[in-house]
A = this chain, B = another copy of it.
Amino acid sequence: METTRVGVVGLGTVGTGVARLLTEHRDRIRRRAGHTVELGRVVVADLSKPREISFDSEMITDRLSDLTADEEISVVCQLIGGLEPARSIMLQILESGKDIVTANKALLAEHGPELFDRARELGRSIAFEASVGGGMPIINSIGQCLSANRIDSLHGILNGTSNFIVSQMEEQGWDFPTALAEAQARGYAEADPRMDIDGSDAAQKLAILSHLAFGARLHWTDISCVGIDELEFVDLEYARQLGFRIKLLAIAQRSDAGLELHVSPTLVRSGQPLAEVRGSFNAVSVVGDAVGRVFLQGAGAGQMPTASAVVADLIDTAVGRTRITFQTLELWSHGEVRVKIRDHSEGSGHYYMRFMVDDHPGVLAEISGVLGRHQVSIASLIQQPEESGHPSGQVPLVMMTHRATEGAAGRAIEEIEELPSVRGSGVRMRVLS
């Protein structure tokens, strides 16, 4: 009987999870693949480092060439993070004639075109379900299950760390630094959490999903991106009073004018599935023209959920499904660009706004006057009782607008911030309508 021998590069959290599934659940994986899929070789940077799993000495190595030269190995899980040496390793593995399974979204978001082109030239495949949403099968759903649809929109909670932090702020009444410290203490946030909290990680994942779902060709840094690092508890509380929760949403929305893409804290009406996603879960709500709305939720990170996605890809590659999918998907190909990316300022939406203002009559008239001149109209307003104001005599003015363009809302806020009775910067967030 045929056997697929697998290589693993990188034995960090996910790599260890993959090795564990392959060694501890051989029978299960053999049943699902219809043949034996076994771990053949593991490449690590430091052989002396203690490992959770012990390997035969001939199986573990610190030389990539031991893996690339091993002709019995046909597929490699490339589980090193970051850009280099991950990129060079990917290329060397492809050149050696092996297929790849990876969880490295940063690498795909940055060097996807190069890597996918090279894989195609060499007749190899790259599977990457684990790069977005951990164990939640969003790549497969878009690439395969929804293939009869034109995807019209995609709204995702794609960064579990941010969602955990915002959930903690909301549930515990904490400010951002306290919630971040808790996330770090619990292992949900890295020591350097910048890419998570500034929205970059979500933007990278949105770029990958947008390539797949819309045939969009863009670099992730072209996506307008606001993180959660300036989010304040008071806004979570006002949102709650208005019947909403705030989530860091990655949004891709198609219209006749093109594809609008952004990542930002967004108000979602309570009770809607995306609003109820708590803790470190990820979720995506996809709308297709035939299927309507499909909602997926799952663990967005973590050792075994991510390993689950990697091993599913491994089985798909071992049985031959990945090769077919990779050939039929136009991911990062040089095919025609089928969607125009819309300039960010042209996009429109409903907005939540908060200003700290001097507590005297006439301020609301001034502010609504500025908004009106920019064609931004107020849909609802929270009027705070006086005791909620600062000791300084300032009070918060919280409002939701009717639909307005991003550009107009931005210009109105800039002008409002210049008013003598308005203190500090205004807060503006999108509202999911």
CB of B327 within 8 A of CB of A136, answer no
CB of A299 within 8 A of CB of B308, answer no
Return the contact of A327 from the options B34, B141, B290, B309 (Cβ within 8 A): B34
CB of B328 within 8 A of CB of A32, answer yes
Residues of B within 8 A of A310 (CB): 148
Return the contact of A298 from the options B292, B299, B328 (Cβ within 8 A): B292
Q: A305 on the interface (CB 8 Å rule)?
A: yes
Residues of B within 8 A of A251 (CB): none
In the assembly, what is the distance between CA of A110 and CA of B156, in Å?
39
In the assembly, what is the distance between CA of A353 and CA of B266, in Å?
42
Return the contact of A294 from the options B33, B297, B304, B321 (Cβ within 8 A): B297
CB of B137 within 8 A of CB of A294, answer yes
CB of A308 within 8 A of CB of B148, answer yes
State whether A297 and B295 are in contact (beta carbons under 8 Å apart), knowing that A147-B32, A276-B276, A308-B148 are contacts in the complex: yes
A31, closest chain B residue (CB)? B330
| Min CB–CB distance A120 → chain B (angstroms) | 13
For window 295-332 of chain A, which residues contact chain B by CB distance below 8 Å? 295-299, 302, 304-305, 307-312, 314-316, 319-321, 324-325, 327-328, 330
For window 272-293 of chain A, which residues contact chain B by CB distance below 8 Å? 273, 276, 288-293
A294, closest chain B residue (CB)? B298
A147, closest chain B residue (CB)? B32
Q: A28 on the interface (CB 8 Å rule)?
A: yes
A325, closest chain B residue (CB)? B321
Fill in one digit per residue for A104-139: 1 if any B CB lies within 8 Å of its CB, else 0: 000000000000000000000000010000011100
In the assembly, what is the distance between CA of A424 and CA of B327, in Å?
65
State whether A293 and B299 are in contact (beta carbons under 8 Å apart), knowing that A129-B145, A146-B137 are contacts in the complex: yes
A297, closest chain B residue (CB)? B295
State whether A148 and B311 are in contact (beta carbons under 8 Å apart), knowing that A135-B290, A305-B292 are contacts in the complex: yes
State whether A324 and B321 are in contact (beta carbons under 8 Å apart), knowing that A144-B140, A305-B291, A308-B291 are contacts in the complex: yes
What's the number of copies of this chain in the assembled complex? 2
| Secondary structure dominating the interface of A | helix
- Which among A137, A291, A302 has the greatest number of chain B C-beta atoms within 10 A? A291
A145, closest chain B residue (CB)? B137
In the assembly, what is the distance between CA of A11 and CA of B320, in Å?
34
| Min CB–CB distance A155 → chain B (angstroms) | 13
Chain A contact residues (Cβ within 8 angstroms of B): what range?
35 or more
A318, closest chain B residue (CB)? B328
Q: A21 on the interface (CB 8 Å rule)?
A: yes
Fill in one digit per residue for A25-47: 1 if any B CB lies within 8 Å of its CB, else 0: 10011011110000000000000
Return the contact of A21 from the options B145, B148, B292 (Cβ within 8 A): B148
A150, closest chain B residue (CB)? B28
| Min CB–CB distance A123 → chain B (angstroms) | 15
CB of B324 within 8 A of CB of A144, answer no
23 A-B residue pairs with CB within 8 Å: A21-B290, A29-B148, A32-B328, A34-B328, A135-B290, A135-B291, A135-B294, A137-B146, A140-B145, A141-B141, A145-B309, A147-B316, A149-B308, A273-B273, A276-B276, A290-B305, A292-B299, A292-B304, A295-B295, A295-B297, A320-B320, A320-B324, A321-B325
Given contacts A32-B328, A320-B320, 16 further A-B contacts (CB under 8 A): A21-B290, A25-B148, A32-B147, A32-B148, A34-B328, A137-B140, A137-B145, A140-B140, A146-B308, A148-B308, A149-B308, A273-B273, A292-B298, A295-B298, A321-B324, A324-B324
